[in-house]
Amino acid sequence: MSEKLNQLKEILGEVSDLNHAASVLGWDQQVNMPPAGGEARGQHLATLGKISHQKSTADEVGKLLDDLKQEFTGSDSDDAALVRVAARDYDKATRVPSEFVAEQAVVTSAAFEAWVEAKGKSDFSIFRPHLEKVMDLVHKYVSYFPPTEHPYDVLLDDFEPGMKTSEVKEIFDALRPQQVKLIKDIRSAKQVKADFLHKKYNEKKVWDFSEAISAKFGYDFGRGRQDKAAHPFETSFSVNDVRITNRFEPDSPLSTLFSGMHESGHAMYEQGINPAYDRTPLAHGVSSAVHESQSRLWENIVGRSLPFWEHFLPELKKTFPSQLDGVSAKAFYKAINKVEPSLIRVNADEATYNLHIMLRLELEIGMLEGKVAIKDLPEIWNAKMQEYVGITPPNDAQGVLQDIHWSSGLFGYFPTYALGNLVSAQLWEKINKDIRDLDEQIRKGKFDALLGWLREKVHVHGHKFDPQDLIQKVTGSKINSAAYVRYLTKKYSEIYSL
């Protein structure tokens, strides 16, 4: 290994350490920190962010990368990938002043605390001034980059490297009419009974059952843990410290099981990355869509399948005998896949979920273009929910305030949720060609072969490949909606006898 590569890795390792220290503070803010600690925590994060940014954008790093790019031209080695990804990160980071990074940390930390309060009180006016500041920073961030086909491209690229807004719109435009037709067909069919899902369930027992499922999947609790937070998430500090959070909703008690599966999918991806990549830019998932494909695969394609509940329902019925008395595996399967318009994105069924994402994409682009005013968001949100999903939120908490993302400045992130759904179905078709008895394995509660396949084909590579290249390499095609439409059509045709 060259001396220059060693020098680069040392600097990148220190940047990684700083960023992970900030992530620990971010995890603590959402899990343990008292509300009054928000202002100080913002300063802590600002300081770490500024130091990390200064270190990662130092002239020394640029010179090392220039030399190493020449050295590794034409190579497909891990080190060549590290240099390529680091050079891309450096190019983006050097366009953004350290002062901006520090300001963003302060503003978003305060915005998060305001969002928690606003959501609790269902009062958008509490969050509005903070979101306006966040949006000002989003505009400023975009201004640091050369003009693109659409300004949203700059934001999208942070989460889905190389993808354009026009490509996302093209994919969504192809998908939307097919999902709308499916929903229309389902509405005219005999509806599914699901009242037993909304009975009173003991929170501790549901929580423990969730952890048991995650462990059975292969989430290593020796290198992870599950805690409570206002919004479920996964965060990674190293391949040996990957944590998830979850929540319990009394009105939808079993949703804890599915959010646990979802976050476990993210976490198992991070736990499966090549340990040799630790403290480098390769030591995380390649993109948000690929990451989301892992969570949605385990939550929906596996966790909402009939074979899965043929295995797990008997144990769940032992845990909740009165709530599930007389409920068959098929009845339970149909209930957890019931299609009905819902207010909350994370609880939406697979047939309507992507419409929630399309709504948010439209609003984000509208805010960026100045066509949607922050003050009008609740009203516009409600109108769009009626247009897209067919229901109007009764309050801000169940409407415009339901997601944490905007408080964190995560504009450009939402489209990757829907893209992740598409990738999950593309992967699933390939997995079933390679593992012929997969349904039977799931019916027996065995997930080793499935996780092993994902480890080998996706997880271990971390960020070595560009996302579209990885998807093409594994499935034979880039992101498209065909496999997902086939998956939804087959599943819901059987459930609703279409």
Q: Annotated catalytic sites, by residue?
A: 263
Given phi > 0 = left and psi -120 to 50 = alpha, else beta, which region is 320?
Answer: beta
- Taking the C-alpha atoms of residue 223 and residue 242, their distance in angstroms, rounded to an integer, is 6
SS3 for the chain is: CCHHHHHHHHHHHHHHHHHHHHHHHHHHHHHCCCHHHHHHHHHHHHHHHHHHHHHHCCHHHHHHHHHHHHHCCCCCCHHHHHHHHHHHHHHHHCCCCHHHHHHHHHHHHHHHHHHHHHHHHCCHHHHHHHHHHHHHHHHHHHHCCCCCCCCHHHHHHHHCCCCCHHHHHHHHHHHHHHHHHHHHHHHCCCCCCCHHHHCCCCHHHHHHHHHHHHHHHCCCHHHCCEEECCCCCEEEEECCEEEEEECCCCCCCCHHHHHHHHHHHHHHHHHCCCHHHCCCCCCCCCCHHHHHHHHHHHHHHHCCCHHHHHHHHHHHHHHCCCCCCCCCHHHHHHHHCCCCCCCCHHHCCHHHHHHHHHHHHHHHHHHHHCCCCHHHHHHHHHHHHHHHCCCCCCCCCCCCCCCCHHHHCCCCCCHHHHHHHHHHHHHHHHHHHHCCCHHHHHHCCCCHHHHHHHHHHCHHHCCCCCHHHHHHHHHCCCCCCHHHHHHHHHHHHHHHCC
Give the integer Cα–Cα distance in Å for 213 and 414: 27
Determine the longest span between alpha carbons in the chain, in angstroms. Answer: 69
241-246 vs 234-238, strand pairing mode? antiparallel
Per-residue tokens: 114: 């305001």
The whole-angstrom separation of Cα 119 and Cα 117 is 6
Phi, psi angles (nearest 5°) of residue 246: -150, 175
Q: Cα separations (Å) of 165 from 151, 412, 413?
A: 9, 9, 12
Which residues are CB-contacts of 154 (< 8 A; sequence separation ≥ 6)? 141, 142, 145, 148, 412
